Structure 1
Amino acid sequence: MESGLSQAFQEEFICIICRSYFTDPVTISCGHSFCRACLHLSWEDSLLPVQCPTCREPCQQKDFRTSIVLKNLVSIARQASLMKYLSSEENKCVIHKEIKGIFCMENRIYLCQLCSDSHEHRGHRHCPIEAAAEDQMERLLKQMESIWNKIHQNEENLEAEKRMISLWKNCLILREQKKRAEYRTYYPDLSEQEEEDIECIKEEGNYYLEKLMESEAMIVQKGKELTDMYQELMAMSQEPYVVLLQDFDDVFRRSESIQLIKPMAMKPELYVRALSGLD
C-alpha cells in the first residue's frame, strides 16, 4: 500500500510531454502543469490561443510564472532518488565503505567525507551533493532561458534580413526604372550607354543581394544550431542529478559559445546612390 501510494505520488511530478520529472514547472490557466521547456517547444509555432496538451482547453497566454511549490517538491523527489542511488552498496566508497555525499568541483567526482579530507582532495572545492545538484540545475535553467531568448532574437534577425532582401530587390527595380526614364527624357539617342549603365546597376546590385542572401542562410543555420542546443539542454535537465552533476559542464561551455549573427547593416538607398551610372 505504502509503495503504491509512493508511486502514485511520484507520478504527480512527471510531465506528460517528456515523461520525466518536471523541470522549471509552470501551471497554466486550466490547472495542468508542464515543464516550461516542453511548453516552449510544444507551442513554438502556435498562435494564441494555444491549447493545453492535456485537456485541449484554450489558453490565452504563453508565459507563466514558475510553480515554486511544485518545483520544490520535484527537487525533493530528485534528491531522494540521488541519495537512494548513492546509498546503494555498489556506489559507496570502496575504501571507507561510506556514502559518497560530497561532490568535488575540480575532479567532478563523488567523495565520502573521509576522502574529501584526504591530501589528494584537501585543496579542492567541495560541496554537499544535494546543494551541488541544485546549483547545477539552476545554472542549467538560466542557460536554457538564455538560449531560448537567443532563439527569438535570431528569429527577429531573420525577419529583418528578409525585409532587407525584399527592400533591396524593390530598390534595384526602381533605380533601373528611374535610370531608363532619365535616358528617355535626356539622352534618347544613347541606348548603348543606357544598357551599360543598367548592366552595371544589376551587377553591383546582385553582388550586395548575394551578400544579404548569404547572411540570411547563416542566420537560418544559426537558428537550427540554437534549437538543437536548447533541446540538448532540455534533455540534460531531464537526467537524474547523478548524470547532471558529471556531464553538464561540457554542454554548458558549448551553449555559452553560441553567438548570434547580426543582420547586415545596409541602407539600400545609400548603396544604390554609390552604384556607377546612377548619377
Structure 2
Amino acid sequence: MDSHALQDFQSALTCSICVNYFLEPITIDCGHTFCRPCLYFCWEEAQTPRCCPECRKIAEKTDYRTNTALKKLASLARQARPRSVSSSGEQLCRRNGETKWLFCELDKSLLSAPCSEYPVHSYSPLACVAEENRVSDEKIVKKMDPLWQKTQEMQDNLNKEIRKSESFVDYVVLRRNMIKVQYQMMHLFLLEEERFQLETLEREAQEILQQFRDSGIRMAQHREKLKEMYRELTELCHISDIELLQDLGDIFERIELLEMQKLQPVNPEPSSLHITGILHMLNKFRVHNGLIQGWTNRYMSLPDE
C-alpha cells in the first residue's frame, strides 16, 4: 500500500473530533462516524439541538449501535502503529539494548524479546494487551457506558432541581402578591371599621346630648313651678285669716300634685362597640391551610419524567 493510500486508510479510521483512531465508533443518521464518547461530549457541551458536528444535520435519535466493522479496523490500525522509543532510553533493555515491546502480565513491566524467554514471565505484545484493555467489553468500554448513563441520570436530576427552583420562585412571587393584597384588604377593612365606629359614636352622642337638653328643659320648668309655689306660700302667710283659710286647701292640693311630679335624671347607656382586636382581624382574613398546601404542591412538585 503506497503512502497516499495508507493516509486515506488511516483518515477513514480517524474521528474528526478527537483526531484519533475510532474508539467505539457510531454512525449517525447523516452517515458520518464519530467515537461515541466524543460525540456525546460534543452534544453535551453544545447546549443546542443534537446535530452532526460535520454537516450540522439534526440527529433523529441519540442511541446508536457500535459500528463493529470500523471498531475492528481501528483496533488493528492502532496495533499496527510504529512503536515509539523514548528519548530517555526507558524503553530500551539494559541487558541487550533492544526495545522493550512485550508486556509482562505478572509484574506489569516491559520486556525485550530476549528477556521474554525467561519462564517466570507471562508476556504478550504491548500493543495487543493495551488494545485489549482499551476496547474489550470486559475492560474500559464496559466501565464507560454505565458512567455515562449515571451522568445523564444526574443531569436529569439537576434539570428537575432547576425546574423546581424556578417553580419555587414563582410560588414566592405569588405568595408575596397574596400577602400584599391581604394586607391591603386589612387596611381597607380597618378604615371601614374606623368609619363605622366613629359614625356610630357620633350618632349616639347626638341622641344622648338631646336627651340631656330635653331633661334640662323639663327640670328648669319644674324648678320654676316649685319656685312659684314657694312664692305663693310666702304670700299666703301675709293675707287675712279668712283668706288664708279659704285658699289653704287649694294651694295644698296643688303642692301635692307638684310634688308627685318626680323628674328622673338622664342616665345614658351608650353602646360599647367592640374594637376589632388583632386576632379577630386576622381571623377575617385567614386563608385555609389546605388552599395554601395546594398552592405549595402546585409550584413545588413536578411530575416524574
What TM-score do the two structures reach when normalised by structure 1? 0.52
CA distance in 1, matches of 2:140, 2:34: 17
Deviations 1:73-106 (A, max 9, x none): 1111111115x336x9x64423134553432457
Match of 2:84 in 1: 85
Deviations 1:27-81 (A, max 9, x none): 1223221111222122232325x2x333344431222111111111111111111
CA distance in 1, matches of 2:163, 2:54: 38
Match of 2:277 in 1: 189
* Structure 2 SS opposite 1:74: helix
CA distance in 2, matches of 1:114, 1:102: 10
Per the TM alignment, residue 133 of structure 1 is displaced from its structure 2 partner at its CA by 0.8
Task: List aligned pairs for 1:57-206, cutoff 5 A.
Answer: 57-81=57-81, 84-85=83-84, 91-105=91-105, 108-112=108-112, 115=115, 122=120, 127-138=124-135, 139-169=139-169, 177=178, 189-190=277-278
CA distance in 2, matches of 1:93, 1:71: 33
CA distance in 1, matches of 2:168, 2:28: 43
What TM-score do the two structures reach when normalised by structure 2? 0.48
Asked whether the 8 Å contact 2:23–2:71 carries over to 1, the reply is yes
Match of 2:39 in 1: 39
- Greater radius of gyration (CA): 2
* Structure 2 SS opposite 1:39: helix
Per the TM alignment, residue 129 of structure 1 is displaced from its structure 2 partner at its CA by 2.1
Number of equivalent positions: 187
Q: Which structure's relative contact order is higher, taking Cα pairs within 8 Å and 6+ residues apart?
A: 1
Asked whether the 8 Å contact 2:26–2:34 carries over to 1, the reply is yes
Asked whether the 8 Å contact 2:79–2:128 carries over to 1, the reply is no
* Structure 1 SS opposite 2:110: strand
Q: Extract unaligned runs of 5+ from structure 1.
A: 195-267, 273-279
| Aligned residues: CA RMSD | 4.1
Decide whether aligned partners of structure 1 residues 168 and 55 sit closer, same or farther in structure 2, where only a CA change above 3 A counts: closer
Per the TM alignment, residue 168 of structure 1 is displaced from its structure 2 partner at its CA by 4.2
AA aligned to 1:60 is E
CA distance in 1, matches of 2:63, 2:4: 35
